[in-house]
Chains A and B, each alone.
Chain A
Amino acid sequence: EVQLVQSGAEVKKPGESLKISCKGSGYSFITYEINWVRQTPGKGLEWMGTIDPSGSYTNYSPSFQGHVTISVDKSITTAYLQWSSLRASDSAMYYCARRSGPFCSSTSCYDLFDPWGQGTLVTVSS
């Protein structure tokens, strides 16, 4: 079974650092990008960034560039999302998701995020 399992909930203070994880299993880990998605309470899904585990290439949303770092340890099939200095506004649910694609026909392309991890709730409060 293909699955992504994330680390548990975290409670931190502003200014602290944090690293959460996403472990892939049931597939060739280096073949698929891992993406991170943020969901704030009552809000929608925001793409944060992606990493290609085969070469550690990363691509970040401008909204998160410089504030988070995505990394990977291929030897243990695990991707990471980390902060060096948390803010209260970082309080959210964070999901990892495996990307498949792109798949293209003569007219259109598509890709997809599947599966998703179960989510890691991060609470930042003084």
Chain B
Amino acid sequence: SSELTQDPDVSVALGQTVRITCQGDSLRSYYASWYQQKPGQAPILVIYGKNNRPSGIPDRFSGSSSGNTASLTITGAQAEDEADYYCFSRDSSANRPIFGGGTKLTVL
């Protein structure tokens, strides 16, 4: 399958931990990377590879993977984390990148 499936909406109380998941067959052989997009802004990379954060991304963001599921975890969510989150991987059979449908994270 060349699809990545995400829950459309997730909410978390301020300061609590939230996990955003992404499912797809390609994740068995390709790590997901994760992008955060706030309204009116371009996406930015927050997690890539097994569990790597680009410079400037807070360490409350972490990634993990098991089987066909990748997860982005925010430990101690902040108001500024409210955004859309997209997972990204590659359909190796078709040699093309694929994005998940996105998860809108609301911080309550």
Contacts and interface: CB of A to CB of B under 8 A. Distances in A.
A44 interface: yes
Given A108-B30, A110-B49, A46 B99 contact: yes
B19 to A, nearest CB: 20
Interface of A: 35, 37, 44-47, 50, 59, 61, 95, 97, 99, 102-103, 105, 108-119
A105 B65 CA distance: 14
B96 A114 contact: no
B90 A111 contact: yes
The secondary structure that dominates the A interface is strand
Given A116-B43, A117-B42, A110 B30 contact: yes
A21 B100 CA distance: 26
Interface residues of B, number: 28
A97 B95 CA distance: 17
Interface of B: 29-33, 35, 42-45, 48-50, 54, 65, 86, 88-90, 92, 95-102
Contacts of B49: 103, 110, 112
A103 B30 CA distance: 10
A119 B44 CA distance: 12
Nearest to B100: A44
The residue among A50, A95, A103, A110 with the most chain B CB atoms within 10 A of its own CB is A110
Given A59-B96, A114-B54, 11 more contacts: A44-B86, A45-B86, A46-B99, A47-B99, A95-B43, A109-B31, A110-B89, A112-B48, A113-B35, A115-B44, A116-B43
Nearest to B95: A59
A45 B102 contact: yes
